[in-house]
């Protein structure tokens, strides 16, 4: 029996990220980066982070404790390629910032569900 052909999503990670509203964080706050270790990532996001680090002579890091290893005193050191979870946190009713920061408009739950459904597609999509 022929193998089913694999159809990658017709949607890019950038398209997905573009659906998430811009957070209005408290200046200098990095609390959520200190709570969850390395945030969950899809294989594509892992590949993007690896390429970003290698291009700068840096290495992939492992978390020890709850602080993300990519957090520095100046903030996120992989900011342009930070994963979906970091972008979504605080923007929806289900992922509220503990300090009450939010985007100008919180994501509607229906749109959040659509974003998550699309995000799931990327877990089977390799670079």
Kindly list the residues in this chain that would bind ligand SF4 in the complex (CB under 6 A): 23, 25-26, 29-33, 39, 68, 70-71, 76, 78, 82, 86, 89-90, 97-99, 101
**Between residues 19 and 61, which has the closer beta carbon with respect to ligand SF4?**
61
Q: How far is the CB of 23 from ligand SF4 (least distance, A)?
A: 6
Q: How far is the CB of 93 from ligand SF4 (least distance, A)?
A: 14
**Between residues 101 and 111, which has the closer beta carbon with respect to ligand SF4?**
101
CA separation for the pair 120, 122 (Å, rounded): 5
Q: How far is the CB of 75 from ligand SF4 (least distance, A)?
A: 7
**Between residues 56 and 99, which has the closer beta carbon with respect to ligand SF4?**
99
- What are the backbone dihedrals phi and psi of residue 113, each rounded to the nearest 5 degrees, phi first? -65, -40
**Between residues 78 and 115, which has the closer beta carbon with respect to ligand SF4?**
78
- The radius of gyration of the chain's CA atoms, rounded to the nearest angstrom, is 16
Q: How far is the CB of 78 from ligand SF4 (least distance, A)?
A: 5
């Amino acid at each position: 029996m022929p193998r089913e052909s694999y159809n990658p999503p017709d949607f890019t990670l950038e398209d997905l990220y573009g659906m998430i509203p811009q957070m209005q964080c408290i200046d200098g706050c990095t609390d959520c980066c200190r709570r969850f270790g390395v945030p969950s990532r899809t294989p594509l996001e892992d590949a993007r982070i690896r390429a970003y680090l290698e291009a700068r002579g840096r290495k992939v890091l492992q978390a020890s404790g709850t602080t993300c290893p990519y957090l520095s005193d100046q903030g996120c050191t992989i900011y342009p390629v930070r994963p979906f979870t970091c972008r979504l946190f605080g923007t929806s009713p289900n992922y509220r910032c503990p300090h009450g920061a939010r985007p100008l408009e919180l994501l509607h739950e229906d749109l959040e569900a659509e974003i998550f459904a699309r995000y799931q597609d990327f877990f089977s999509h390799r670079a």
